[in-house]
With several copies, the nearest count.
Chain A
Amino acid sequence: MEYQGKELFRGVGIPTPRGVFVRSPDDVAAFIAENPGAWVLKSQVLMGGRGKAGGIKFASSPDEGRELARELIGKVLRNEQNPDGEEVKSLLVEEKVAIASEAYVSITIDRAAKKPVVIVTAQGGMDVEEVAAHDPDAISKYWIDAAIGFEPFIARRLAFAAKLPTGFQRAFPSILGGLYAMFMEYGANLVEINPLVLSEDGRVIASDAKVDLDDNGLYKHPELKAWKNEAPADEDQAAALATGLGISNYAKLDGNIGIIANGAGLGMGTMDAVRNAGGAAANFLDIGGGAQAELVKKSYNLVVGDPKVKAMFINIFGGITRGDQVAKGIVEALAGDDVRKVPLVVRLTGTNEKEGREILAGAGMNPVETMDEGARRAVELARG
């Protein structure tokens, strides 16, 4: 959440607004009593758009602070993207910074260039994609040579190129240096400060901060795993893990043809084939390479667990994956009484194709020859 992200930012020397993390209205009142002035009460939730949902309030006295905190804590914030809402359990009480100017700065990975790219614009507080679309010249970029890393001249060049107000100049190298250090240390996909605020009293402060971590790199920072766990797990990812699949090997979609394939490319290709046949996939499911019968069986159960699935297409091109294992898994899955059965089309080719077909034949199943044919049959079956 915001307060955790800001801790990381402070850890690399990037100033954030003065503030305190609290869980009770009395703590808010006590803090404002000790620190008179204008304060912002920010609900600590994971959903976006909390401001518009009423999750941010301003207070300038202990009583006002206590009153508003009572309103916020326990409140369920809702918006279009989060119809179920999220309950506010804690607040970040932050100084109300008098803003002279706002900028935007982020570092992300440019896949095509295979380099980290730093993005700066003087149009802070805005959606950077919108700025890029409407005023591309307002955005300055620098691609970092990973062998050299961040050097202060990069910050100078970007600050001058983006025409940041002079007040930003002095602090900019250390802020960008801190941001790069964080990007590298946590193996982030994205680190972003928006807005980076120049206050009327001349301070440069990260007013809002965002970090997107690479799941593959999380093992290097076990302390951040706990953080990730606080996030409401993506239901698809949770289902994939529970089934024994990789985290991104399963995704629920809108159609009614269940799909199981081996390999992400073949999985997507199978979805496409179903669409080409006039149907729509109910899911993407990649059993990965070398799957055993047990995993095939569990995957089958996962897919038919979605009530909108009207037919299933299992499409296997055996490389590492062996046809006999897949066939065994299918037969076992169908043998269970506790599982919903839907019309099934199997395509099975490649490694141990012959053995697999024999197992299926033994259970009265007759695989199709090609992906296109299988997709057509599945669409027909779903139409009933």
Chain B
Amino acid sequence: MAIYLDKNSKVLVQGITGREGLFHTQRMIAYGTQIVGGVTPGKGGTRIDTGNPVFDTVKDCVDATGATHTIIFVPPPYAADALFEAYDAGISLAVCITEGIPAHDMLKVVATTHGMRIIGPNCPGLVSPGKSLVGIMPGHVFRPGRIGLISRSGTLTYEIVDLLSKAGLGQSTCVGIGGDPIIGTTFVDCLRSFATDSETDAVVVCGEIGGSDEEDAAAFIAEHLPNKPVVAFIGGRSAPSGKRLGHAGAIISGNTGTPQSKVKAFEAAGVPVAERPSQIPMLVKERLAVPA
């Protein structure tokens, strides 16, 4: 059934009447996502032009629609509050698109919202191709299939997905975990879910410089995914030390976050690391051809 998201997931949109929220709501509906409503305080009782009802609070929306998933399009100062509101209303999975949330806000959110899965923040969302898309990703590049993908990046993910799709490798679920220092769902969290997903035959991990998520992922794969092929890619291998490149999390400081360390960790775990995205489909096919 893929992970985190399927055809039956009921999704609400926080910030549904904002410019971004409205635009992507329309796109998600076009993709086939079951959008059941949205929230904008003070606009409760109205409807957006797609006919979806707008509520004043997340709780009102959940009570009326049975939504289990939310996607958050609110400015950084209000994003943590939106996550707390979702948690409080019993939401089980929240995708937070917002970029620029203070790291301390996220520290508090992840420390206290036990049991709610958070994707992001500063992420493109997730998609289970052919079933549902909750995010801002271009739906047309995805193809249904049996490859899982996890990425810290947005557009680089589209690049890789496009290559996979064109090579005949459809996807079970693609998760953009986000480029911030503090994120709700890590590579390891996703790998744990893919490990037991019967609809995923192999996983592509698309990391980048900065932090130690990739090293943690490699260690997890070595121990817990002996029978599921994994292929990795590390973005920013040509980046110099000390420069923050776009993502707040993408910075090499001292000995932390270097591509060498990440490549070494993956190779030690038996995970081939593609030099360039275009090699990924071939590596996946090679790994799938090896009998487990």
Contact = CB atoms under 8 A, between A and B. Distances in A.
B276 A153 contact: no
Majority-rule SS of A interface residues: mixed
A111 B44 contact: no
B102 interface: yes
B137 interface: yes
Nearest to A218: B102
Contact of B107 (A146, A253, A262, A372): A146
B267 to A, nearest CB: 17
A265 interface: yes
A152 B81 contact: yes
A263 B88 contact: no
Q: Report the interface size class on chain B.
A: 35 or more
A355 to B, nearest CB: 15
B239 A261 contact: no
B152 interface: yes
B224 interface: no
B154 A267 contact: no
Nearest to A271: B238
B220 interface: no
A124 to B, nearest CB: 20
B246 A263 contact: yes
A160 B42 CA distance: 9
Contact of B104 (A184, A236, A268): A184
A151 B246 contact: no
A271 B236 contact: yes
Contact of A371 (B151, B181, B247, B277): B277
B84 A148 contact: yes
A156 B89 CA distance: 13
Contacts of B137: 319
A2 B152 CA distance: 37
Residue with the greatest number of chain A CB neighbours at <10 A, chosen from B155, B236, B275? B155
A265 B153 contact: yes
A146 B112 contact: yes
Given A156-B57, A268-B209, A281 B103 contact: no
Interface in B145-162: 151-159, 162
A248 interface: yes
A314 B60 CA distance: 46
Interface in A168-227: 169, 184, 187, 189, 214, 216-217, 219-220
A189 B59 CA distance: 28
Contacts of B107: 109, 114-116, 146
Nearest to B188: A112
Contacts of B152: 265
A91 B249 CA distance: 36
Contacts of A276: 275-276
A112 B212 contact: yes
Interface in B230-264: 235-240, 243-250, 254
Interface string A128-152: 0100000000000000011110011
A254 B60 contact: no
Contact of B77 (A219, A248, A349): A219
Interface residues of A, number: 65
A284 B251 CA distance: 13
A109 to B, nearest CB: 6
Nearest to A236: B243
B24 to A, nearest CB: 8
Residue with the greatest number of chain B CB neighbours at <10 A, chosen from A116, A219, A263, A321? A263
A275 interface: yes
A112 B156 contact: no
B104 A370 contact: no
A12 to B, nearest CB: 16
B100 interface: yes
B254 A269 contact: no
B107 to A, nearest CB: 5
A371 B56 contact: no
Contact of A147 (B42, B58, B111, B238): B111
A274 interface: yes
A187 B102 CA distance: 7
A333 interface: no
Nearest to A157: B57
A350 B240 CA distance: 29
A318 B246 CA distance: 17
B130 interface: no
B222 interface: no
A284 B103 contact: no
B76 interface: yes
A111 B162 contact: no
B6 interface: no
Nearest to A186: B104
Contacts of A114: 106-107, 110-111, 182
A68 interface: no
Nearest to A263: B155
Contacts of A351: 138
Contact of A269 (B41, B58, B235): B235
A272 B156 CA distance: 12
Contacts of B238: 268, 271-272, 274-275, 280-281
A150 to B, nearest CB: 10
Contacts of A145: 88, 111-112
Given A214-B103, A269-B156, A156 B213 contact: no
17 contacts: A146-B108, A153-B58, A153-B84, A153-B88, A160-B57, A169-B41, A216-B76, A216-B103, A217-B102, A217-B104, A263-B156, A265-B157, A265-B246, A276-B276, A284-B239, A284-B245, A320-B138
Interface of A: 109, 111-112, 114-116, 129, 145-148, 151-153, 156-157, 160, 166, 169, 184, 187, 189, 214, 216-217, 219-220, 236, 246, 248-249, 251, 253-254, 261-269, 271-276, 280-281, 284, 286, 289, 317-321, 349-351, 370-372
What are the 3 tightest A-B residue pairs by CB atom distance, in nearest-first order?
Answer: A265-B153, A264-B246, A263-B155
